[in-house]
Amino acid sequence: MTATEQTPFANEPVLELRRASVRAGLQEALATVEARLPVEVPVRIGADRRAGDAVISTDPGAPERVVARAAAATSDEVQAAVAEASRGLARWRAVAAVDRARALRAAAAWLRERRLELTALEVRECAKPWLEADADVCEAIDFLEYYARGAIELSRGRELVQVSGERNDMSYAPRGVVAVISPWNFPLAIPCGMTSAALAVGNAVVLKPAEQSPALAGALVTALRAGGIPDAAISLLPGEGEVGAALVAHPGVHAIAFTGSLPVGREIVRSAAVVAEGQHHFKSVVAELGGKNCVIVAADADLDEAVPAIVGSAFAYAGQKCSAASRVLVAEPIADQLLERLAGAVEVLVVDQAQTLGTDVPPVIEAAARERVLRYGELAAREGTVVASAPPPDEPGWFCPALVVADLPENSSVLSDEIFGPVLAVQRVRDVEHACDVVDGLAFALTGGLFARDPETVRRVRDRTPVGNLYVNRGITGAMVGRQPFGGNRLSGTGLKAGGPDYLLQFVAQRAVSENTMRHGLVV
Amino acid sequence: MTTARPAPDAVDPEAVESELQRVGRELAAAFPSSSRQPLRAFDARAMELATGDQELRAALFRFVDVVPACRSLDDLAHHLTGFLGEVGETPPPLAAAMRISHTRAGRAALGAAAAGGVRHLAHRFIVGESPQSALPTFRRLWNGGVASSVDLLGEATVTQSEADRYAARCNDAIAVLSRATAGWPTRPRLEADGSGPVPRANVCAKVSALTPLLAPEAPRRGQDDAARRMRPLLRAAHEAGAHLHIDMESLDSREAVLDLVLELLSEDEFAAGPSSGLVLQAYLRDSPDQTERIVAWARQRSAAAPPLTVRLVKGAYWDHELVQARQHGWEVPVFEDKADCDRNFEALSRRLLDAGSSLRVAIGSHNLRSVAHAIAYNRVSGGEDVDLELQVLRGLGDDLAHALAARGFRVRAYCPVGDLVAGMAYLVRRLLENTSNESFLSAQAQGASVQELLAAP
Ligand SMILES: Cc1cc2nc3c(=O)[nH]c(=O)nc-3n(C[C@H](O)[C@H](O)[C@H](O)COP(=O)(O)OP(=O)(O)OC[C@H]3O[C@@H](n4cnc5c(N)ncnc54)[C@H](O)[C@@H]3O)c2cc1C
């Protein structure tokens, strides 16, 4: 496809699961995937592959089921991967933007052809319920399609002021070797987004995926290479945290794209600031970190809409999204009504296996996560009142009850820590202004919600809120590429918004060239 | 009886068309003058302004929507001016309203006027707070030759106790109506057709209100939960001799609703009744397939049961279906051309009427052409008028209902009952639907000629 044939970007349509014929395909895909488990995920540096089993990913809903056996990259392999990436960079940056875009779009096509199987793999490896898993696969495809188009746009450069006798232009060059460190909660979309943005503008990438989801990262690398990205330009280093740390510290890395928790993000920013002997660049860090996301419910809100939207935002995928709602700030006049309806709506949530259609709350990712969530649940019960809970099934799997808590003291850590689980705290506020003060007092500023019908209230909150993504009269998760560019402020992130028109700028170095066009007193 | 119908292809379309034109003109002639047209009567100015100006339409509807959530007249006035403030060019009367809202007394006056306006509007559509309080209206309609059906408005059901409360209200409606209607005078037209008696008491229920568990991707979950509340309602209706009708909602819940109704009615306990029905939406592209499924089901059902009533409508969630499909990148499930929708409505009318006595056909429309078509086809294909029921929405189809009743048709008015808070979503939907450019009622209100109104789609 040539640049002129480029169709405008459109989001990949999610499965229409309300149709029985569409649902019918899911179990078959699951069976196909299960027959192939466990998946082998080798260290992949250039054309080399080294298999291993130092990292094992298991099904959070059935911990005895091994989903993937991955090798853990050694420090020598980190060195080798960066060296290979430097070679890959030389080749890949020389490829024209349209041709790079073509490769990314071919990778999107590869994913598209295997959508159901990838979705099923997410159901198993991360306990993502079908709806959520499907959305993740679609988002991965969207990132490839969106950044491919954006990079072509960027390659045209920018208009500068031109006066006679000189020719000025500004263009965008890749930064170099980009280390991508990705989380498990959007196991395909997030690594794909960071990686494809870096690749689209000509960088080489070394990907270190979360140890909980190596199988999906492996599939991503396969897709990119199948699409035509040179082996040397995309390497895969499965492993635990120290692999990521070694990558970040490596002087041959130019930029780091990270999505994950605040403590790790802080450590990355610190480590990346060090300029090693002989390192001739500052590393840039693109970090998407946590959130403590509040939904404000004004006195004139429509509770028929607010309640289901809040429940979905707080409990879908067991609250394991950085965008998930974890606090509700409700105006006093409707607080009782909201609490009663919210409690009733949470009591009917189905906590069950991810592969069961109709599951609202799947198990959390791993044993340690379950312990953490249960600990916060106990703390919340001690410091406040549990107003509703949906019980977990009596099955192996890292299940946690879904909880709604009220009456917490202002200094409760339940109100400030990112719990990353199915726990929602509700707090009464005098009015919207008071709610804005509460939001303003938080260290995080990722997403936020507002339910209100008065246009003036909407304007006021828009103006005051520090959050990166404010959602008005709707759920606060599910940002779509190109429609809701995503990313936070304050300690929620450093970067420009993912899936937005400016994201690629973080992966380029700007170059301005001014050429004198006067020769012997004449303009030539 | 309608069993002796000719084969469908033996029915002459030209004969149907000319009968349709005759019936349509006759009915149109019975309408009151255009100054009493339903959309004009209550708030002529506001409706006229709203139909003409999209921004203003949005502002007024957003206001109507928020009225129940407002806590004082001041708050009401504040919201009203807030919405109007977003309209580019405010017409003079509204600009004046915004000026007086600068003082507290002005806001109180404006709030009171606006609240009164909305209440007045709501009462056109919503007949009472409870079935009990709506009884005088039902009785008046009956005396005038119009049967009724009660629809219980409520907030969305998000909890089990809300579902229980809704089921209790349905149960209460069945009891109240069957008791009260027993004493009504005889109206043979309204009480029997070729298949037998038609219950006087008629109650509609929504599956989404009977369970908080409906999920598009897991229809079974909501279906099973609703079933445990619907069985007692079917039992109650059977014992009281009432009709229970299950409304159809958006496509997200269609599978659950249709399976629920057909499965419950197939249970042994309900083999002999009660009289019951469901809804078919002609705006859905796949509605012909659904029709075949329903017709086949009705055919094999035991003859001991009263025939299933199928209410054919175009569908009330057109914008929702369109927007949802576009946002998700799905094929749009509804027709996007109004004429396609209208032609399909006519085709399905014929299909249902051709199905014979295993079904009762009810046409739910205010479109004179759609209604006249069903009447004409039924006649030309050898059916009796009594074997066709015509249904309208209270507040929108009142004139049509009276015209039909005067000509001896069996007409039923669908009457929402509930408080203002619960009613607002319903009201907003009706207003949006009927101020849209594609609406028959708004074409009629704008003075389209009978010829235009009756033209083939
Ligand atoms: C007694 C009764 C019961 C009802 N019960 C139900 C129910 O259970 N479920 C339900 O969904 N609805 C129900 N309805 C509502 C009904 O669907 C709407 O009132 C009806 O669609 C209005 O249609 P009409 O024939 O009166 O008017 P018309 O003006 O002829 O038709 C308007 C309708 O056409 C359709 N339409 C509008 N624009 C387009 C377009 N561009 N392309 C294609 N189609 C378009 C829409 O469905 C719109 O509502 C009921 C109506 C009545 C009278």
Given a contact cutoff of 8 angstroms between Cβ atoms, the answer to whether A387 and A366 are in contact is no
pLDDT per residue as tens digits for the range A228-264: 999 999 999 999 999 999 999 999 999 999 999 999 9
B365 CA distance to ligand 1 middle (Å) = 7
Q: How confident is the model at residue B105 (pLDDT cuts 50, 70, 90)?
A: confident
A307, A348, A358: residue with CB nearest B217: A358
Beta-carbon contacts of A452 under 8 Å, excluding residues fewer than 6 positions away, are A296, A297, A298, A300, A301, A432, A458, A461, A472, A473
Element of type H or E holding A290: none
B287 CA distance to ligand 1 middle (Å) = 14
- The pLDDT of residue B51: 65
Given a contact cutoff of 8 angstroms between Cβ atoms, the answer to whether B392 and B371 are in contact is no
For chain B, helix, strand, coil in percent to 5 are 60, 10, 30
Report residue A489 CA to chain centroid gap: 15
CATH 3.20.20.220 positions along chain B are 8-30+128-418
**Mean of the per-residue pLDDT values of chain B:** 90
CA pair distance B276, B245, nearest whole angstrom:
5
CA pair distance A488, B342, nearest whole angstrom:
49
Q: Do B330 and A13 touch (CB under 8 A)?
A: yes
B449 CA distance to ligand 1 middle (Å) = 21
B149 CB near ligand 1 (under 6 Å): no
B440 CB near ligand 1 (under 6 Å): yes
Strands A55-59 and A204-208: unpaired
Task: Output DSSP code: residue A283.
Answer: P
Task: Output DSSP code: residue B306.
Answer: P
Q: Which residues pair with A390 in a beta bridge?
A: A402
Amino acid (one-letter) located at A5: E
Given a contact cutoff of 8 angstroms between Cβ atoms, the answer to whether B258 and B278 are in contact is yes
- The pLDDT of residue B33: 62
Beta-carbon contacts of A336 under 8 Å, excluding residues fewer than 6 positions away, are none
B78, B156, B159: residue with CB nearest A348: B159
CA pair distance A253, A279, nearest whole angstrom:
9
Residue B252 to residues A270, A465, B319, Cα–Cα distance (Å):
49, 34, 14
- The alpha-carbon radius of gyration of chain B (Å, integer) is 22
Q: Where are the alpha helices (DSSP H) in A167-235?
A: 189-200, 214-227
Q: B79 in contact with A at a CB cutoff of 8 Å? A: yes
A215 CA distance to ligand 1 middle (Å) = 49
C-alpha dihedral sign at B315, B317, B319, B325: negative
Determine whether A371 is an active site residue: no
Which stretches in chain A have pLDDT values below 50?
1-4
Given a contact cutoff of 8 angstroms between Cβ atoms, the answer to whether A60 and A366 are in contact is yes
CA pair distance B422, A360, nearest whole angstrom:
27
B150 CB near ligand 1 (under 6 Å): no
Shortest Cα distance from A174 to chain B (angstroms)? 34
Q: Do B75 and A300 touch (CB under 8 A)?
A: yes
CA pair distance B445, B447, nearest whole angstrom:
5
B391 CB near ligand 1 (under 6 Å): yes
CA pair distance A314, A327, nearest whole angstrom:
8
CA-wise closest residue to A432 among A450, A416, A448: A450
Task: Read off the pLDDT of each residue in B193-208 and give the average, rounded to a whole number.
Answer: 97
Segment 378-397 of chain B within 8 Å of chain A by CB: none
Amino acid (one-letter) located at B368: L
Beta-carbon contacts of A497 under 8 Å, excluding residues fewer than 6 positions away, are A468, A485, A486, A487, A503
CA pair distance A462, A484, nearest whole angstrom:
15
CA-wise closest residue to B211 among B246, B175, B174, B172: B246
What is the chain A residue with the closest CA to B62? A453
- The pLDDT of residue B42: 44
Given a contact cutoff of 8 angstroms between Cβ atoms, the answer to whether A255 and A286 are in contact is yes
Selected catalytic residue, list A288, A294, A366, A436: A288
B364 CB near ligand 1 (under 6 Å): yes
Q: Do B66 and A299 touch (CB under 8 A)?
A: no
Element of type H or E holding B291: helix B287-300
Name which residue sits closest to atom 32 of ligand 1, judged by CA: B439
- Work out which ligand 1 atom sits closest to the CA atom of B250: 11
- The pLDDT of residue A414: 97
Q: Using alpha carbons only, what angle is made at residue A55 by residues A53 and A58, rounded to the nearest 5 degrees?
A: 105
CA pair distance A359, A123, nearest whole angstrom:
12
Shortest Cα distance from A157 to chain B (angstroms)? 32
Q: Do A357 and B66 touch (CB under 8 A)?
A: no
CA pair distance A376, A379, nearest whole angstrom:
5
pLDDT per residue as tens digits for the range B261-273: 999 999 999 999 9
Residue B311 to residues A425, A518, B282, B360, Cα–Cα distance (Å):
46, 83, 10, 8
- For the entire predicted model, the pTM comes to 0.95
pLDDT per residue as tens digits for the range B46-91: 666 666 677 877 887 888 888 888 888 888 888 888 888 887 777 7
pLDDT per residue as tens digits for the range A375-411: 999 999 999 999 999 999 999 999 999 999 999 999 9
CATH 3.40.309.10 positions along chain A are 293-472
Q: Which of B313, B322, B434 to mutate to test the pocket of ligand 1 (most atoms within 8 A of CB)?
A: B313
Name which residue sits closest to atom 4 of ligand 1, judged by CA: B364
B366 CA distance to ligand 1 middle (Å) = 9
Amino acid (one-letter) located at A240: E
- The pLDDT of residue B83: 86
Multiple choice CATH, A41-159+168-289+492-511, 3.40.50.620, 3.40.640.10, 3.30.413.10, 3.40.605.10: 3.40.605.10
Q: Do A453 and B69 touch (CB under 8 A)?
A: yes
Task: Read off the pLDDT of each residue in B164-186 and give the average, rounded to a whole number.
Answer: 97
Q: Do A299 and B221 touch (CB under 8 A)?
A: no
CA-wise closest residue to B78 among A437, A434, A452, A332: A452
CA pair distance B197, B206, nearest whole angstrom:
25
Query: Does B45 score more than 70 pLDDT?
Result: no
Shortest Cα distance from B158 to chain A (angstroms)? 5
CA pair distance B298, B360, nearest whole angstrom:
10
Task: Read off the pLDDT of each residue in B317-346 and give the average, rounded to a whole number.
Answer: 97
A18, A341, A348: residue with CB nearest B251: A18
pLDDT per residue as tens digits for the range B367-413: 999 999 999 999 999 999 999 999 999 988 999 999 999 999 999 99
Just give the CATH number of B8-30+128-418: 3.20.20.220
- Work out which ligand 1 atom sits closest to the CA atom of B412: 1
Residue A218 to residues A338, A366, A438, B198, B452, Cα–Cα distance (Å):
44, 20, 42, 66, 64
Burial of B35 (0-12, 13-18, 19+ CB in 10 A): exposed
Which of A348, A359, A432, A457 is most worth mutating to test chain B (most B CB atoms within 10 A of its CB)?
A348
Q: Do A304 and B155 touch (CB under 8 A)?
A: yes
B344 CB near ligand 1 (under 6 Å): no
Query: Does B2 score more than 50 pLDDT?
Result: no
Give the side-chain half-sphere CA count within 13 A for B7: 2
Report residue A220 CA to chain centroid gap: 14
Just give the CATH number of A293-472: 3.40.309.10
CA pair distance A279, B240, nearest whole angstrom:
88
Determine whether A322 is an active site residue: yes
CA pair distance B148, B153, nearest whole angstrom:
15
CA pair distance A236, A39, nearest whole angstrom:
15
Name which residue sits closest to atom 15 of ligand 1, judged by CA: B316
B248 CA distance to ligand 1 middle (Å) = 12
Name which residue sits closest to atom 45 of ligand 1, judged by CA: B338
B148 CB near ligand 1 (under 6 Å): no
Query: Does B41 score more than 60 pLDDT?
Result: no
Query: Does B36 score more than 90 pLDDT?
Result: no
CA-wise closest residue to A480 among A168, A146, A169: A146
- The pLDDT of residue B34: 53
Strands B202-205 and B146-152: parallel
Task: Read off the pLDDT of each residue in B129-138 and give the average, rounded to a whole number.
Answer: 95
Give the side-chain half-sphere CA count within 13 A for B271: 7
Q: Name chain A contacts of B252, Cβ cutoff 8 Å.
A: 18
DSSP B64-103: HHHGGG--SHHHHHHHHHHHHTTSSS--HHHHHHHHHTTS
Q: Do B328 and A131 touch (CB under 8 A)?
A: no
Q: Name chain A contacts of B158, Cβ cutoff 8 Å.
A: 304, 307-308, 311, 341, 344-345
pLDDT per residue as tens digits for the range B297-321: 999 998 888 999 999 999 999 999 9
Give the side-chain half-sphere CA count within 13 A for B238: 16
Give the side-chain half-sphere CA count within 13 A for A177: 25
pLDDT above 70 covers a percentage of chain B that reads 94
CA pair distance B229, B168, nearest whole angstrom:
9
Q: Do B69 and A357 touch (CB under 8 A)?
A: no
What is the chain A residue with the closest CA to B216? A18
Name which residue sits closest to atom 36 of ligand 1, judged by CA: B338
Shortest Cα distance from A37 to chain B (angstroms)? 26
Name which residue sits closest to atom 43 of ligand 1, judged by CA: B338
B236 CB near ligand 1 (under 6 Å): no
CA pair distance B83, B64, nearest whole angstrom:
11
Q: Which of B257, B314, B415, B426 to mutate to test the pocket of ligand 1 (most atoms within 8 A of CB)?
A: B314
- Work out which ligand 1 atom sits closest to the CA atom of B313: 17
CA pair distance A207, A192, nearest whole angstrom:
10
**Mean of the per-residue pLDDT values of chain A:** 97
What is the chain A residue with the closest CA to B80? A454
A137: helix, strand or coil? helix
Q: Do A341 and B161 touch (CB under 8 A)?
A: no
Q: Which two three-digit tokens encode residue A235?
A: 């390497």
Strands A43-45 and A48-50: antiparallel
Q: Which two three-digit tokens encode residue B188?
A: 């043979």
Q: Where are the alpha helices (DSSP H) in A409-514?
A: 432-440, 455-464
| Residues on chain A bordering chain B, Cβ-to-Cβ distance under 8 angstroms | 10-14, 16-18, 20, 23, 130-131, 299-305, 307-308, 311, 333, 340-341, 343-345, 347-348, 350, 357-358, 453-456
Beta-carbon contacts of B229 under 8 Å, excluding residues fewer than 6 positions away, are B163, B164, B167, B210, B211
Q: Which two three-digit tokens encode residue A198?
A: 């870096």
Phi, psi of A474 (to 5 degrees): -160, 175
Q: Name chain B contacts of A132, Cβ cutoff 8 Å.
A: none
